[in-house]
Structure 1
Amino acid sequence: MKLAFEDFQFDIQALTLLKDGRKISLKEKPAQILALLISQPDKIHSKVEILEEVWPGRTVTEQVVFQNIGHLRALFGDDAIKTFSKKGYQWQLPCDPVDGKAQESSVGQDNAPNSSAESEAVNTATQISVDKSAQLPWKIIVPALVAAAAVGGFLAFA
Structure 2
Amino acid sequence: MKFAFKDFLFDSKELKLYKDDRKLNLKQKPAQILELFLTAPQTIHSKEDILEKVWPDRKVTDQVVFQNIGHLRALFGDDAIKTFSRKGYQWQIPCTAFEGTTEAQTSKQSLPQSTNPAGGVLDDKPSENEATVTNNALKKPESVSKLPMFGLVGILVLLAVGVYFTLS
Fold similarity call, TM over 0.5: yes
Note the alpha carbon deviations across 1:25-46, whole angstroms, 9 max, x for none: 1001000000001110000000
Counterparts in 2 of 1:58 and 1:9: CA distance versus 1, 3 Å: same
8 Å CA contact retained: 1:75, 1:134: no
Aligned to 2:125: none
1:61 corresponds to 2:61: yes
Counterparts in 2 of 1:38 and 1:134: CA distance versus 1, 3 Å: farther
**Count of residue pairs the alignment pairs up:** 127
C-alpha deviation, 1:135, in angstroms? 4.1
CA–CA distance in structure 2, aligned partners of residues 33 and 64 of structure 1: 11
Aligned to 1:5: 5
8 Å CA contact retained: 1:24, 1:126: no
Aligned to 2:121: none
8 Å CA contact retained: 2:45, 2:87: yes
Aligned to 2:91: 91
Counterparts in 2 of 1:128 and 1:41: CA distance versus 1, 3 Å: closer
Aligned to 2:112: none
CA–CA distance in structure 2, aligned partners of residues 51 and 29 of structure 1: 10
CA–CA distance in structure 1, aligned partners of residues 5 and 93 of structure 2: 7
User: Where is the helix percentage greater, Structure 1 or Structure 2?
Assistant: 1
CA–CA distance in structure 2, aligned partners of residues 5 and 35 of structure 1: 13
The 3-state SS of whatever aligns with 1:74 is helix
TM-score, with structure 1 as normaliser: 0.69
TM-score, with structure 2 as normaliser: 0.65
Aligned to 2:14: 14
